[in-house]
Amino acid sequence: MSTATAIEFKITPLNAPLGAVVTGLDGSQAVAPEKILQLKQALRDYHILIFKEQKLTDEQFLNFAFYFGSLFVPSDETPVLASQPGVTPVIIPVSNVDGGYTGTGELTFHSDHKWTPYPSSGSLLYALEIPSAGGNTYWLNTNLAYETLDETTKNQIANLQLITYNPFLHDRNEPRKPYRLDNTIPLISPVFPHPLVRTHPESGKKHLYLDAATEVEIVGLEPQEGAALIERLRKHLNQPQFYYQHNWSVGDIVYWDNQATLHYREAFDPSERRVLHRISLAGSRPF
Ligand code: OGA
Ligand code: MN
């Protein structure tokens, strides 16, 4: 006999350019094989999944995340958020208190670990404490951004390779630049060019693989030409018709595909607390 309060497992697409909400699933328990498969297919189709009303220990959160892949582990030469020499925490506190990371400011649209040789396939962010206002996170559908480019631009960028410079190796005293115009300055980081138009490894769809603000360079183009093209593509990317704005509730886990989306965070009041835990999953070589 089922009780009146039991919620059935449901995946409900959002009325938005991407995203689906998952209800009736308790991530602290073993999840049935057919549900895992449904979730993997839903992630491929909707790019982000929002799990509601979770109550997990760190260990349960890890067990849940690892249904979808193994841990992203950066090499020592490619530090990422929260990296200390030789170690990066398994669960990263994305928090403005208690020694957490990312502060209270705006985070421009990005995908996690894009400057590494094998960028993260996806990340899961679990909300523990949420401010009364601000701090919403937006996810942007990079397949839609690609598909809405004009044909001339699609042809122009079809075979280009993009270098994204590691922001965690950036000299803090240097101003942040959107493009590496002066290529006489020696590189301080190892660089890993990736296709500017990335093919998704499961869906085969094409995605504009570019973030909003990190310093980049197109391999083989004159700096002025490359910078102008990137500026134009970034203007195109940044349109509300491509994104969904998530207003967090405590207990939400958002699992997003870094291969298919960008994410952005609004600033929030530094006098409030915002605490989330993040796990990033390993990815493969972009093609
Ligand atoms: C991240 C991130 C956004 C947020 O954890 O990778 O970008 O909303 N966080 O805090
Ligand atoms: Mn991020």
CA dihedral 179, 154, 210, 62 (to 10 degrees): -170
The domain 10-134+247-281 belongs to what CATH superfamily? Clavaminate synthase-like (3.60.130.10)
**Any idea what DSSP says for residue 9?**
P
| The CATH number, out of the four listed (3.40.50.1010, 3.30.460.10, 1.10.10.10, 3.60.130.10), of the domain defined by the range 142-237 | 3.60.130.10
Tokens in use for 119?
Answer: 């960028």
Full-model pTM: 0.95
Domains 10-134+247-281 and 142-237 share a fold: yes
Please work out whether the CB of residue 112 comes within 6 Å of at least one atom of ligand 1.
Answer: yes
Cα Rg for the chain, rounded, in angstroms?
19
Q: What tens-digit pLDDT sequence spans the chain (287 residues)?
A: 555 566 799 999 999 999 999 999 999 999 999 999 999 999 999 999 999 999 999 999 999 999 999 999 988 788 888 888 778 789 999 999 999 999 999 999 999 999 999 999 999 999 999 999 999 999 999 999 999 999 999 999 999 999 999 888 877 777 789 999 987 777 777 899 999 999 999 999 999 999 999 999 999 999 999 999 999 999 999 999 999 999 999 999 999 999 999 999 999 999 999 999 999 999 999 99
Q: Is 278 in the pocket of ligand 1 (CB under 6 A)?
A: yes
* CB of 120 closer than 6 angstroms to any ligand 1 atom: no
Tokens of 249: 């509730």
Question: Domain boundaries in the chain?
Answer: 10-134+247-281, 142-237
Ramachandran area for residue 139 (φ above 0: left; ψ -120 to 50: alpha; else beta):
beta
| Tokens standing for residue 180 | 């590496």
Alpha carbon of 140 to ligand 1 centroid (Å): 13
